[in-house]
Amino acid sequence: MVVTKLKKNDEIRVIAGKDKGKTGKILKIFKETNRVLVQGINFIKKHKKPTQNDRQGGIVQEERPIHLSKVMLLCSSCKKPTRVGRKFMESGEKIRFCKMCNADL
């Protein structure tokens, strides 16, 4: 299990796969599988059988978690995909920073 520096609600950019270049917000992190669920990314089409409430059935689109290696954090300051650094404040508080522009994240 890899400890990710990403957090829920972080803005990320997809750097590999069919959604390469797209950006989205992290909805959920799956630490066990090293995947993140990102809003609007990695949609799959699912065929839905007709049910009592939905007699039509048809095709629904659903987001699937994407592997951490395929995303990079998008810095809110320099707007570039970046690696995240960690540093300790004098207070002992751990903060994240952008390795491109050094802004706190």
Contacts with Zn ion, residue ranges (CB under 5 A)? 75, 77-78, 98, 100-101, 103
| Nearest approach, Cβ of residue 12 and Zn ion (Å) | 13
Name the burial class of residue 84, with classes exposed (0-12), middle (13-18) and buried (19+) by CB atoms within 10 angstroms of its CB. Answer: middle
The conformation of residue 102, written as its DSSP 8-state character, comes to -
Name the residue nearer to Zn ion (CB basis): 27 or 100.
100
Q: How far is CA 43 from CA 8, 25, 52, 62, 63, in A?
A: 19, 14, 25, 5, 4
Name the residue nearer to Zn ion (CB basis): 27 or 84.
84
Name the residue nearer to Zn ion (CB basis): 66 or 98.
98
| Nearest approach, Cβ of residue 14 and Zn ion (Å) | 18
| Nearest approach, Cβ of residue 78 and Zn ion (Å) | 3
